Each structure stands twice: as C-alpha cells, then as structure tokens.
Amino acid sequence: MTLLRRIAHLDMDAFFASVELLRYPQLKGLPVVIGGGHRKVDDLLRERHAGRPLSAIPPEAFPLLKDYAGRGVITTATYAARQFGVGSAMGMMKAAKLCPQAIVLPVDFEEVRRYSRTFKAIIREIAPVVEDRGVDEVYIDFTEVPGGQREGGRVLARLIQKSIFDATGLTCSIGVAPNKLIAKMASEFDKPNGITILYEADVRSRIWPLAVRKINGIGPKSEVKLAKLHLHTIGDIAQQDRGWLIDNFGQSYGAWMHDAAWGRDDRPVVTESEPVSMSRETTFERDLHAVRDRGELSAIFTELCARVAEDLQRKGYVGRTIGIKLRYDDFRTATRDLTLDHFTDDAKAIRQAAGQCLKRVDLKRRLRLLGVRVGKLAKAGSPDHTRWPAAAPQPLQVAEPTPDLFGP
C-alpha cells in the first residue's frame, strides 16, 4: 500500500506566557502579557517576597501594563488578555490602553529555550523528522512514522500532545495535512490544545473561505495589494488565472500564490540547516543623535560588535560580510555592508569594518536603532574558510583605517 504524505505543524499555545504561568500558577486565568521589559521583574519580586516560594506571591504584587513605560512590543499574551484585543507584536503602549489591568512580565529567554529544547526532544523521540521553526513551532513528517497514518495522523498527534503535557505541563495545537502549507493553517483551527486533520479534498471547504493573510507568506503588504484587486479570501486567489496573478505579482510570487491557494506545496521537512547570518541590534530608550550622543552611540556600537563576535565564536562560525543597520526616528531603515577578503569572528575586525559602513550612511537624523550583522558565514576551520582568499594573497594592513564617526 502506498503511504499518504502526512505533515504535521505543531504550535505551542501562548508559549512565552505559558512558561511564566508554570512559575506563577497564581496568575492562571488572568490577563498576562510577556514582552518589552528591561526590568528585572523576577529579581524585584524575589526581593520583595524573599523566602517565600514564587507561587505564594500574590497577584496584586505584579507590575501592571498601565504602569509600563517603554518601547517594547508584546511577545505573547495569555488567552485572557487576548479577550481585550491584545496580541503579539502590538506596541506595549497601545496594549496598555486596551487592557491596563494586564500583568506584564519580561521574556525569560533562558527558561523559554529550556522548555523549547525539552518539547522538541520529546517530539523527536516519537517522530524523528522534525523541522525547527523558531522556539515554539515545528513541522513533523508523520508519513513514515509507525502509526503516523492512523486516523490521518490524529493518533500520533494525540500521543505527542500528551507526552509534551505530561513532561512539561504545556499545551500545544497540531494540524496534520498533506503538506506544510496546509498543516500550518490547520494548526490554527482549534486553539488552544486542539488537533485538526485535513486532506487534499478539504481545501475547497476549509481553506478557501479563509482570509488571504492566513497563508504563510502573504503579509500585510500583499494583503493590501490583493484587497485593491478585490481578492479577500484564499478562494478568491484560487479562482484567478495563473497568468494574471503572475502579471500582477511577478513570475515567482504570482505562481507561488496560485499554487498556495490551491493547497499545493511540496517543500520537504528540513531537519538540518546552516545559519546564513548572525546579528545583534538594539532600540534605544530615547532617540540618539550621532554628534550629540556620540559617546553613548560609540559604546553601544562597540558592544554590539563584541556580542556578534561572541555569538560567532560560541557557535563556531566566521563571516566575510559585515553590515550595519540603522533605524531613524521616522522609522525608515538603512543598511550598509562590506565584504572582506577574509573570514573573521574578531570583535575588533568587525568593529573596524562596521565603522567603514557607518561612513556611508546619513547621520544627520536622530536614530532609534542600531544593529550589526555578519553574513556569508562558514564553519570556523572549514576548508571553505581556510581556502580563502582563492587567488591573490591579501596585502598586509598598510595603514590604520581612518576613524569613523562613532570612533573613540
């Protein structure tokens, strides 16, 4: 008998918030948002309630959204907070208007990553072909897993859900479908803690009525453009002529959009991949000016370079393209980059190259963000990296490079 391709998408429910609720179960059912925050809420609470278990801290002791002042966005909101219209990626200040009484907690990345590793390890024990899609999501290929075909994947999905819950106390939602594209949409159908099974034949009835934005790959810009063409649902796209879509959205995107609307997607579940770039960036608490705040900017810039270098070294990569990113007070973004003739993971070398990039960008406007990126990565010590440069030997550093604007 031939196997049906069965791909699952698993999404942890309100992951960041749920992880916090494990620590503070007294907040269950209350509106809680995670995000922003440079404040050390945990430290604060621990100090104030020294000696008592975290779970004994009364809910009234927690900081509220209405008292929040800062530039952060919300990473996750509990379902109780979502009732008020608060959601991911929303600015904290806007959220505070909608739900001032919500409790705010900062992201605890270490804790989140710990649970992330745990739930992914549990999945891999059950079904080994797993693709990482960030801390709280994965695709899983059920096709050849023993029992992966039973009830279209429902039996295996249930087993995974239960295993994760038993080990962590966390819930997730799973969609199982013929491919990643449909599985991703299906996992949203029954949240939280749900399972949705879809087949090719369900595309018309279950997928076509959905808004175009539900397709993973159609974002806010394309949504607006589609609306102007009077296309609102996925079915609307499916009814269009493929050539017409290509004329309006380009060869690649237009054809992809047509396939997506018909539920066609043959991308494999990719279990391993190499990073392409590593970066660090920071948004300032207030907008800074290149001249007036030179000292502050210089220190931040050097620190960002040091942190990228650290990341590269810790993970064992070197890179050849050094880039910077600026965001102006009007939210426009500028990037500059420079490709070196050798690979590096050295903070000073990165700082020097990034400094050269800085000279090519307008520094008259106030800045709200500064970032440093290293691309064209290779594994440290790999032939790819040691072979470089291929032909001409690089000249010795002849002169000290001229200092950049943020220079000491």
Partner DNA sequence: TCTGGGGTCCTAGGACCC
State which residue, 333 or 382, has the beta carbon closest to DNA. 333
Phi, psi dihedrals of residue 290, rounded to the nearest 5°: -55, -35
Which one of residues 13, 131, 136, 404 is an interface residue with DNA (CB under 7 A)? 136
Please tell me whether residue 111 binds DNA under the rule CB under 7 A. Answer: no
Distance from C-alpha of 87 to C-alpha of 11, rounded to nearest angstrom? 16
Of residues 7 through 36, those in contact with DNA by CB under 7 A are 36
Which one of residues 50, 89, 391, 398 is an interface residue with DNA (CB under 7 A)? 89
Distance from C-alpha of 367 to C-alpha of 375, rounded to nearest angstrom? 23
Which one of residues 124, 232, 294, 336 is an interface residue with DNA (CB under 7 A)? 336
State which residue, 63 or 91, has the beta carbon closest to DNA. 91
State which residue, 193 or 333, has the beta carbon closest to DNA. 333
Nearest by Cα to 91 from 106, 69, 112, 109: 69
Distance from C-alpha of 385 to C-alpha of 379, rounded to nearest angstrom? 7
Q: How many of the other CB atoms lie within 10 Å of CB of 226?
A: 23
Please tell me whether residue 173 binds DNA under the rule CB under 7 A. Answer: no
Please tell me whether residue 55 binds DNA under the rule CB under 7 A. Answer: no
Nearest by Cα to 78 from 95, 97, 53: 95
Query: Starting from the edge strand earliest in sequence, which strands make up the sheet with 367-379, in order?
Result: 277-288, 367-379, 317-328, 333-344
Minimum CB separation from DNA for residue 308, in Å? 8
Mutual angle of helices 15-23 and 109-126, in 10-degree steps: 110
DSSP state of 145: S
Coil, strand or helix: which one is 325?
strand
Distance from C-alpha of 107 to C-alpha of 23, rounded to nearest angstrom? 13
State which residue, 49 or 365, has the beta carbon closest to DNA. 365
Which one of residues 106, 178, 263, 371 is an interface residue with DNA (CB under 7 A)? 371
Q: How many positions of this chain bind DNA (CB under 7 A)?
A: 62
Distance from C-alpha of 21 to C-alpha of 30, rounded to nearest angstrom? 10
Please tell me whether residue 245 binds DNA under the rule CB under 7 A. Answer: no
137 is catalytic: yes
Pick the piece of the chain touching DNA (CB under 7 A) from 145-153, 167-175, 190-198, 271-279. Answer: 271-279
Q: Which two tokens stand for residue 53?
A: 């278990």
Which one of residues 112, 218, 260, 269 is an interface residue with DNA (CB under 7 A)? 218
Please tell me whether residue 93 binds DNA under the rule CB under 7 A. Answer: yes
Please tell me whether residue 391 binds DNA under the rule CB under 7 A. Answer: no
State the catalytic residue, choosing from 110, 111, 137, 303: 137
> Would you please indicate which residues are annotated as catalytic (active-site) residues?
137
**Where on the chain is the footprint of DNA (CB under 7 A)?**
36, 70-73, 75, 88-89, 91-94, 96-97, 133-137, 184, 215-223, 250-253, 275-283, 311, 320-321, 323, 330-339, 357, 360, 368-369, 371, 376
